[in-house]
Each structure stands twice: as C-alpha cells, then as structure tokens.
Structure 1
Amino acid sequence: MTTLVIAEHDNKTVKGATLNTVTAAAAIGGDVHVLIAGNAAADAAKAAAQIAGVAKVIHADGAQLDHGLAENIAAQVLAIAGHYSHILFPATASGKNVAPRVAAKLDVGQISDITKVVAPDTFERPIYAGNAIATVQSADKVKVITVRTTGFDAAAATGGSAQVETAAAAADSGKSSFQGSEIAKNDRPELTAAKIIVSGGRALGSSEKFVEVMTPLADKLGAAIGASRAAVDAGYAPNDLQVGQTGKIVAPQLYIAAGISGAIQHLAGMKDSKVIVAINKDPEAPIFSVADYSLEADLFTAVPELVKAL
C-alpha cells in the first residue's frame, strides 16, 4: 500500500498545505510518495525530499506543467496512478480543481475534505457546515481524497531524505492555456497559513471603519485580516479575506472575531482555531458558544483599547 500526495508548489518551494496532506497520508500507512509536477521545479523537488515521512519524490518537469493547469496536472497524475492505492490532494482551490478529474478518469468516487483517517478505507469528513461528522468507507481500488488541511498537523519540512525520481512529463492536453494572472500584493501573512487572524464583521458598518478598526490590531499582532461573508457582501472587505464555508477554512493559533455574530457558515471556517476570542455587544451571539474568551462590549471601544494595551 503506497500513497501519492500531489504537492502544491511555486517551482521553488513547497506550500504549507502539502505538509498537512503528507501527515494525512502517513496516517493511512505504507510508503508516502510526493509528486512535484512543474516547470524548472528541481528546487521544489529537493524541498519535498526533505519533508519528514516522505519515501520518494517523483519529479515531472515540462512547460505544459507550469502554472498548475488542471487538465495537464490531472494527466500527469493519471500517468502514474496505477502504482498507488491512495491519491491525496490538499483541499485547496488547486486540489479541488484537479482531484475530480482524476477520480472521474479512474471511475472511482472522490472522498472530499477528510479531517481524520480511521482506517485505510475509512475516513471522517464534516457535513452540514461542520455540524455533523460523516464516517465514509470506500471499497474503490484507488481512493482519491482531498484533505482539509486544518484537520492535520503539518509534517516537518526538514529531516527527511527521500530519493528523487524523474518521470516523463505528460503531454499537453491542449484544452487550456495560461493567459496571465493578477496577484494581489500583501505584506501580511497569507490567510490560510497565518498563526494569528483578526476578523471583522458587518457590525463595523463601512469599509472605512473596517480598515480603521481592524488594521491597527492586525499590525500590533502581526496578524492576517479576515472577514465574515456579511462584511464581504456589504463591500467592507475584499472577497479574498472571507472566512467561512464559502470562503477560506482557517485554523490559526489565535482567532479574534470582532463584530461577527457567528453564523453557522462562518463557524464552519474557523472553529478549529486553537484559541478563539470573540468581541460582540450581543450577549446571544452564537460566536460566544465556540469562543475560549468572550467579551461583551462595543467593538469600537474594545478593539482600540485592546490595541493600546498591546
């Protein structure tokens, strides 16, 4: 029994979500192999070889594998899939783009968003916005799985000594091409990888107040900034800051929620945070039911006072 992890990388380094996925793969048992499919990605392959618990890195290199186009990455996975009992992807935008294509071509069911490995054929995954946990058992010969990275600790990025094996790059599918990208530059930590997140809700009232109140707190803590869907829908914060079921799933060491009521959809995206601090003037706010520390107060008073105290 051997498990293949499809790594996310930038051709130079391996992204953090891959480390969590390696931990999930190790829990299944057997050897863990990692696929680095990219363009001039030798550095990423070397980095993957150092991940603790990885037995082998398969490096496929070609211009058609640049930018992670789903059709071409799926073809690369399928080219080597016959050697594996389990194929794991991080449950990120990229992983969720490729995994269904692989599962469909292999004619197997996809097991999505697992948070626990019960046995090599049995897994737990959240359903109903995290209000229930389903135990899923699969009889498929090859199990195609996406891993909710917040459910597993990250494997150590160093300490491993896996061998790197070169594989022939799959041909360009010709079904898609990379046209360009517009990448927002941000000096703050990336939301899904941040150790501290401060999030604001609709109670902030405007985009100006959102910036005025939340930015000083984030600056003091060296934190990423998040937002509830209500705040995003109201135009107070950009879409890429949204935390929740339809946004980003996060599990930082510290999550501070200011003016967020705690709708089910938001809780589904952050309730695995190690420490949750909630600031809300509504004593009945659902966010208080999951918070480790609750402050019933007006955020426009409490947050500036917190900034001063820090």
Structure 2
Amino acid sequence: MSEHSLAQQDMSQVMSEPTFSGSFPAMSRAWLIDSHAQIWRAWHGADKTRLDADGQPVGALLGFADALLTLLESVFDQNIQLPVAPHAEHGPVIVCTFDAPCNRSFRQAIYPAYKAHRPPAPSELTAQLPRCRALAEAAGLCAIDHPGYEADDVIGTLVQRLRKRNRAVTIITGDKDLAQLLGPDDRWFNPMRQKVLAYGDVERHFGVKPQQIADWLALTGDTADNIPGVPGIGPRIAGNLLKKHGTIDGIYANLAAVYGMKFRGAPRVQKLLAENEPLVRLSRQLTGIVCDLPLNLTPSPWLGIGENLPQLLRAAGVDEYRIARWARLPRFEKSQSVAA
C-alpha cells in the first residue's frame, strides 16, 4: 500500500470513529498538526531522489502536501459546508505548528543534553521546511511557531485558547508527551500507528491520567528526548506512585509513605526518589508543556485554499490528479476575515 493510501486510511479512521465528534461536530473542532512530526514521517517514506525542476529535493514536501490534502478532504467528507461571513467563526480550525527555525529551545538552556543524542537533520530535509510552511499557508492554514519554544508548546497554548472558545481539539502527532493536553472532548491521533486516544483512553494506555503524563515522564525519563528521570523507576512503578499520591509534589510530600507501598522494591524506590529529587525536578521542567505563550496570532477558522496554491504545487512537481483534488476544496475569498 502506498504512503498516500496509508494516509487516507489513517485519517478516515479518525474522522469516522463513532465517539470522535461527541458534542463537538467537526465544524466546532480544531485540528492542531505537529508539522515537524508529519514532515519527518514524509521524509522517511519519501523518494530521496525526487527533485523539482530546479534540482531541489521535494520528497518530504510532497508527502506533507499529501497529508494536508487528506486531512482537508476528510473534514469535508462529512458534508460540511463552510459558513460565510459573518458566521464563518463557526468553521473548523486547522493549524500547522512548527518548531522555531534555527533556535534552541528553553529546554536546551535548562539542560544542554536535551535531545543532544539526535543526529542533525539532513540538509536535504531542512531545505524543504520553509516550502512546507509556505505550502500550509497557501492552503489557507494557520502556520505558527514561537522563538525559544517547540511546536509542543505552541500546541499547548492553542489548546488552552481554543478551549476557552468552546472548541474541542484533535492533536495530530506521534509524540506521547502531547497526550498531557487532552480534555474530555479532545483526541490525540498518531497517523503512523493509526492510533486514536480519547481522554479516557490515556490512562488505559499509559497507566496515568493526561494531567499526570508530564510527572510520569519526569519519573521514568524519556529516551526519545534524552530526559533522565530516576534510574531504576519504570512506567509501572511511576504509575503506582502517581495513582497513590497524584503528583510529583504529592510523592515528595509523602516520601516516607513510599517505603510501605505495596509493590516489590518499595524501600529501594523510596531511596531512589530521595537521592534523585534534583534530577526529578529538572526532568519535570523538561516534560511539562508550556500553555501560556504570548502568541501574537490566534488561529482563524479555515476558509478555503489560497489562489496561489496550484502554482506552488506545480513548482514542487505535484501531479495533475492531486492538483485536481485540491481544486475541489473550497477556495478562500479575500473578503472573509474572522477570529476563531
């Protein structure tokens, strides 16, 4: 099965899940895309030799374009008709979030080893990132980053803002950290694994509630991001500690009680916690997602693709079949201007 067919299957699963919409129909839902995760996925599945007419690599760009097209088609498979001004504020919000370009995050300032084990992104990939962002904007989507912070923090801030506007969110990512942001009507979707998690699924999947994910990762560590955690404490023990005491603060406020907890090795775990408290506190600064960034942009509902999108697609070497599919989506009218 092709990468494009998989993308269609992935998104159709999310959009058709019986409990997906709940009290929030697709018109009132916001889709927040962890764009770098989608671009990386596209890069690893792409033909690395694919070049545009100027000899520039476009494999990741084409895969990202397919992912966006599939999302937009899936939204409108539900027979949604975009409202026009002055009622367009009720339309679906779709946002592409990005890590700030060429910028160390505050987490690396706190802990220089954060993500330091990862090899640099190939230049053939990084050269495509500006074009991926330009493509998202030409498709009429909001594209947002914030200096010194990661896409996770932009998503966290947007979740809080959109929730205040009575919008449920779906976070499109493969990053388990972002599950900490889910509320009762929200969804977390990993396209690569075709996995959808609702609020109630998080505890069954990870062993802790969404609001405990950051504390859980601070205790266990996270090898993906090179976050240390407590040596010798794994997911199950961390889950037991948090079920009993709620938070890291609760654990340390009741550290003596850990000795008598009913799991094997409780006295050793108490000792490990006492010896590694500074490391736990440091790790917690790294695992928590910032939700109050001073973003100077609030995403507006999606109103259709921009008029320059076909030109960008053709320049990237997108075939006419896909361009025709893009053309069937609503087009943005410049007279429309709304807030989310």
Q: What TM-score, normalized to structure 2?
A: 0.26
Structure of greater relative contact order (alpha carbons < 8 Å, 6+ residues apart): 2
More helix by share: 2
More strand by share: 1
